[in-house]
Amino acid sequence: MSLPSFNEHDGHAKLSPLTGPSKPAPSVVSWLSRVTDGRDRSSLRVLDLGCGKGGTVAWLLEQGFDAYGMDVRAEYVDNGRAYLGADRLAVLDRGSYPYPDDHFDIVISNQVFEHVADLGELAREVARTTKPGGLGLHIFPARWVFTEPHMHTPIVHWLPKGGIRRLGIKLALGAGWAAPYFVERTLDERTEIFSQYSDNETFYRAPRLIRRVLEAAGLSVDFTEASRDRLLSKLGTRRRLPGPVDRVAVWAYRNTRMMCLTTVKV
């Protein structure tokens, strides 16, 4: 008997039809407002990379942007096309993105980088399809986040892929330290489902490697400002922390919680 993929778990929101816009996190809304202040939004072409069924695309359109989305999973995209229309969402099969050079003013993504096996290919295609001077905002879990945010398992993503990680996942599942997905299946079956996902669909990287790959593609990178925005939003304040505290807090947040980076195509 074949096992389902991890992404087929019950309650996965991307597996149901899109019924309306999904507002991004406050830090994303704030960043978009800041970088587009005084500009005609209808003239700004935005790509939501890894858009799922397109909730953020719908919100961007509602805000006046010329917005598009792309995802590798056709079933997600299909769930958004009835609401948004076929021209707003695209499926990435492999290789080049289905857009021309210098096409987008802004590219955003949320929880995408940690699922991309070939980060260099992503960086090159984002750079190719972004206009010179175009901007990017990318948010994804930090390498050293304590609990893996998709499987809800503590520290197993720190372990080497393969047998050691599989054992960690099995122990976490057996102890109840994991997402309550596929609970009707045996422990061995759940271990297989979670392990296949962890090995084949998660890729946590050091910031210095991410910077090197993006800069090699022609994208300048800043980790600090977007991470600070996100942290202050979580703290419920706009006031920057005192100098040394700010530097330590922002560093800790982007390395142990959520990596937030901005790019400019040079």
Considering the entire predicted model, what is its pTM? 0.95
* pLDDT reported for residue 15: 86
* pLDDT reported for residue 162: 97
Per-10-residue mean pLDDT, the chain, length 266? 90 89 96 96 98 98 98 95 95 89 98 97 98 98 97 98 98 98 97 98 96 98 95 90 93 96 97
Domain boundaries, the chain: 11-142+204-242+258-265, 156-201
The Cα 170–Cα 72 span in angstroms is: 28
* pLDDT reported for residue 203: 98
Fold of 11-142+204-242+258-265: Rossmann fold (3.40.50)
